[in-house]
Amino acid sequence: MRILQTKLVIALLLSTIVFGGCVRKSKKAKDDGKMTGQYEAELTDAPLVPASPGYDYPKKVVVRLEVLEHVMRLADGVEYNFWTFGGKVPGKFIRVREGDDVEFYLSNHPNNKLPHNIDLHAVTGPGGGAEGSMTAPGHTSQFSFKALNPGLFIYHCATAPVGMHIANGMYGLIFVEPKEGLPKVDKEFYIMQSEFYTKAKFGTPGLTSFDMGKAFDEQPDYVVFNGSVGAAMGDNAMQVKVGETVRLYVGNAGPGLVSSFHVIGEIFDKVHVEGGKLINENIGTTLIPAGGTAIVEFKCETPGALTLVDHSIFRAFNKGALAQIKVVGEGNQEVYSGKQKDMVYQPEGSAIQSITKATPAAVVPEKSQAERMLNGKILFEGNCAACHQVNGEGLPGAFPPLANSDYLMARADKGVGIPLHGLSGKIKVNGKEYDGVMPQMQLTDDEIASIMTYVRNSWGNKGGLVKASDVKSERDKK
């Protein structure tokens, strides 16, 4: 009896080795890294996810993404000028396969005011593609990359000031599907959390805009899923049937906050931790870093509304971080008895408080011209060169030159008021007209003094030393 069993086991083992080996070999022969064709990636708006590429061979995939700056709804009665990848917030979901060659086209619509680029965390290379994709309005940039690592990654604009471009809506997800694919589920959805820092308080009707001061303090007025308050609530809620399995591709764009992602009334059967290979099981709340992701999976056993929240709970009930999945079908008394109230946690008081801090003027000793030139170069390259270019030549039709700028040299304030307050409306530089918008920059007096000293004494300019006290007196005028 025992001998027979052993023989059987050996026979089975042998056949698996032979058979399994054979299968593996043929798979390997298919996926030898050779490209076998080209196709245009299907891109979707949240909460939709493109279908799996589902092919055995790596391919060349063309991705075309268009940047659009336009006003949309942030909450009921509240509008905001969003900067977007593809027209909506979050940006289009991109899905490719491990090993694919991605040919990426980034277009910046001619009506846009600013240059933009893209940093895809799925890219191995300088700036995640940001260096190869800096694009002025009315231009298209093209670059290519190989999707080396499988996983769920965020992408975002990385044009200075980076935080402002992200805060205005420039982010989305790219999923590099593992070669072997993922187990089949019934429904897949795309969810992305992010914050909005607005001049007007939460819910104040009208058009509002970005507030750099609140962004600095990481005190957002809005924390939302999929770009606006209620984007996936009520009639727009995601829908599934009882018994279906669900996979959520979740991103957290930040720019400032870490998300404690939870679905009220569900347990994640699986969490692909941080969007990578490691799978954790039976999780209530999973942490998603700013600029990070998670893939969560669960089965919907009971009917009703599942509520997605950032479990930093004031964000959910007071700043907008709520979304819903409606599960329809027959109840299962054993799993859940039927009380339909899902108010798990009711925070006391709902007043949103704003703390106005007076920023004390930092006392920094005045620097020499040589020192300012050194600091100024670094600060210029980090804050200004995205638009005015490293060589100060600007970009024709979009960003005026700082090199030999008659406009700059003629200004009584030595130009310090420009980064201090921002600049818009028609101006003439060296005989050419510009009508763009330069955002107000969040810089200290000392930093502006160094930048303007550098600008006024580079590329043929001769403008002498700018002191922090020059900037302070301009700042105090307002």
Residue 147 contact among ligand HEC, Cu ion, none, beta carbon within 5 to 8 Å by kind:
none
The verdict on 471 binding ligand HEC (CB under 6 A) reads no
Q: Shortest Cβ distance from residue 162 to Cu ion (Å)?
A: 8
The verdict on 417 binding ligand HEC (CB under 6 A) reads no
- Site residues (CB under 5 A) for Cu ion, limited to 142-171: 157, 159, 165, 170
Q: Shortest Cβ distance from residue 430 to Cu ion (Å)?
A: 27
The verdict on 273 binding ligand HEC (CB under 6 A) reads no
Helix pair 468-477, 445-455: axis angle to 10 deg? 120
Residue 157 contact among Cu ion, ligand HEC, none, beta carbon within 5 to 8 Å by kind:
Cu ion
Q: Shortest Cβ distance from residue 260 to ligand HEC (Å)?
A: 34
d(CA 422, CA 436): 11
The verdict on 157 binding ligand HEC (CB under 6 A) reads no
Residue of the chain from 59, 95, 97, 116 that contacts Cu ion (CB under 5 A):
116
The stretch among 129-137, 210-218, 290-298, 428-436 that binds ligand HEC (CB under 6 A) is 428-436
d(CA 404, CA 408): 8
Tell me which amino acid residue 212 is.
M
Residue 429, burial from CB neighbour count under 10 angstroms (0-12, 13-18, 19+): middle
H or E element, residue 261 = strand 259-264
Residue of the chain from 94, 152, 158, 418 that contacts ligand HEC (CB under 6 A):
418
Q: Shortest Cβ distance from residue 134 to Cu ion (Å)?
A: 10
Strand pairing category for 238-241 and 171-177 = unpaired
Residue of the chain from 54, 234, 425, 431 that contacts ligand HEC (CB under 6 A):
425
Query: Coil, strand, or helix at residue 421?
Result: helix
Q: Shortest Cβ distance from residue 78 to ligand HEC (Å)?
A: 25
The stretch among 93-101, 279-287, 310-318, 424-432 that binds ligand HEC (CB under 6 A) is 424-432
Residue 165 contact among Cu ion, ligand HEC, none, beta carbon within 5 to 8 Å by kind:
Cu ion
How many degrees, rounded to 5, is the angle at CA 443 between CA 162 and CA 449? 130
Residue 41 contact among Cu ion, ligand HEC, none, beta carbon within 5 to 8 Å by kind:
none
- Site residues (CB under 6 A) for ligand HEC, limited to 332-391: 383-384, 386-388
Region of 177 (left: φ > 0; alpha: ψ -120 to 50; beta: rest) is beta
- Site residues (CB under 6 A) for ligand HEC, limited to 37-56: none
Dihedral, 318, 324, 330, 331 alpha carbons, nearest 10: -40
> With contacts defined by CB under 6 A, how many residues of the chain interact with ligand HEC?
31
Give the residue from 233, 240, 238, 306 showing the smallest Cα distance to 268. Answer: 306
Q: What is the largest CA-CA distance in the chain?
A: 102
The verdict on 122 binding ligand HEC (CB under 6 A) reads no
Q: From the centroid of its chain, how far is CA 39? A: 25
> 312: number of CA atoms within 13 Å, CB side?
13
Residues pairing with 70 in the sheet = 82
Give the residue from 136, 144, 72, 71 showing the smallest Cα distance to 108. Answer: 136
H or E element, residue 246 = strand 245-254
Which residue has tokens 């620097």?
367
Residue of the chain from 32, 435, 462, 476 that contacts ligand HEC (CB under 6 A):
435
Residue of the chain from 393, 436, 444, 461 that contacts ligand HEC (CB under 6 A):
436
Q: Shortest Cβ distance from residue 157 to Cu ion (Å)?
A: 3
Residue 438 contact among ligand HEC, Cu ion, none, beta carbon within 5 to 8 Å by kind:
ligand HEC
Residue 299, burial from CB neighbour count under 10 angstroms (0-12, 13-18, 19+): middle
- Which residues lie near ligand HEC (CB under 6 A)? 114, 160, 383-384, 386-388, 399-402, 405, 407-408, 415, 418-419, 423-425, 427, 429, 434-439, 441, 451, 455
